[in-house]
Amino acid sequence: MNHTDWDTIILGQGLAGSLLAWNLIQRGQRVLILDQAHQSSASRIAAGLINPVTGKRLVKQKNTNAFLAAALSQYTHLKDQFNVTFFHSKPMMRLFKTENERTVYTKRINDPDYQKYLGNDFSTSSNPLINNPYGGFNQDHTGYLDITVLLDNLKHYFIKHDCYLNRDIEYSQIIPGNRTISVGDLHANRIIFCEGYKATSNPWFNWLPFKLAKGEILTLTTKSTLPDTIINTGKWLLPIDKHTCKFGATYQWHDLNEQVTQEAKTELLSAINHLFKNDLSFKITKQEAGIRPCTKDTSPYIGLHPQLPSLGFFNGFGSRGSLLIPYYAQHFCEHLLHHQPLDQGVDITRYWNTDA
């Protein structure tokens, strides 16, 4: 391996780092990924849900059509490359929690911009499984990305092509220049930090305001047959097969560690038992915790350091990484390689000031 001639070093092989690296490599760039093989990273714990319309107010972001098109195109390309299906299209049953949510839905369903994503509403009173007095609606263009399988396949590819090192890196080892960067014995034109929540300790980008959120999810089995649809009622249920599902997630803005808690287990079990009319006797097979790199304004943080352009940043996708990262990885590549301007809404310079 040539340790002295890289276009880009990427720090972190979560979903953001992996897809950015993949897109750069596809464009002929010499890329090296440095990773600590952090198995409890938020990417590997996340359910990978793709849900274009979110929140109590059923909001669809302005660029959602482009986000979804880029994600489906990227995951189809990766499927063809590795002969493995990573994205699984699956309908979503969205349950109303209040009558007001039904009112919001009625407004949205009459908006032509939303009709592609929102299906018919229904009553849950005749559903033999679901316990919900307000009914709900079917949501289209939803599914989930099997992130762990994707990251494992990409890691194998990176290793095979000599562009991956499992190495702990201290910030003191990184020496930025105007046009190049040194990381110990490694040299490149730039380094891009894709560290997830750990970026809050990054000395060059600590002026970016994160709003970290710890989340826990359960993997459950039951002898009963689960519905073959994602169920979203604030918490979500993702069926993996007829008798196995993931259920989550909690949100915690304090005690930001990666340890699972009894409190989260109790909260999630209470919620899933309340979701069904009958006791499905769930058995916990796994409980996982991770920290989401959420941002102050809910938009990603992307760009090069305003004073040290050999340092880059690609982070802050929160819980929507599976949908957003393919689009923004391509967007950042165009900025890095062809000097195309970044969208102002994601450009990190929106938080830069000369006193930072």
For residue range 185-208, what is the model confidence (pLDDT) as tens digits? 999 999 999 999 999 999 999 999
Does residue 124 register a pLDDT over 80? Answer: no
Q: Tell which of 292, 308, 335 closes a domain.
A: 292
**Given this model, what pLDDT does residue 230 score?**
97
Instruction: Using DSSP, state whether 202 is helix, strand or coil.
Output: coil
Beta bridge partners of 230: 92
**Given this model, what pLDDT does residue 179 score?**
83
d(CA 312, CA 336): 10
226: DSSP letter? P
Please, where are the H alpha helices in 276-339? 321-338
Residues 153-170 have a mean pLDDT of 96
Cβ neighbour number for residue 301 with a 10 Å cutoff? 24
**Given this model, what pLDDT does residue 356 score?**
44
**Given this model, what pLDDT does residue 125 score?**
74
Strand (E) or helix (H) holding 154: helix 147-160
**Given this model, what pLDDT does residue 156 score?**
97
Beta bridge partners of 174: 183
Does residue 28 register a pLDDT over 60? Answer: yes
Do 11 and 195 meet the contact criterion of CB atoms below 8 Å apart?
yes
Q: Which residues contact 341 (CB under 8 A, 6 or more apart)?
A: 335
Residue 314 in domain: yes
Residue 71 in domain: no
Residues 70-115: tens digit of each pLDDT: 999 999 999 999 999 999 999 999 999 999 999 999 999 999 999 9
**Given this model, what pLDDT does residue 39 score?**
53
Beta bridge partners of 215: 290
Q: How many domains does the chain have?
A: 2
Share of the chain above pLDDT 70, in %: 97
Where residue 28 falls (left for φ over 0; alpha for ψ -120 to 50; beta otherwise) is: left
Q: Which domain, by its residues, includes 231?
A: 89-142+211-292
**Torsion from C-alpha of 295, 297, 301, 306, nearest 10 degrees:** -120
| 264 CA to centre of own chain | 21
**Residues 216, 265 within the same domain:** yes
**Given this model, what pLDDT does residue 1 score?**
44
**Residues 190, 225 within the same domain:** no
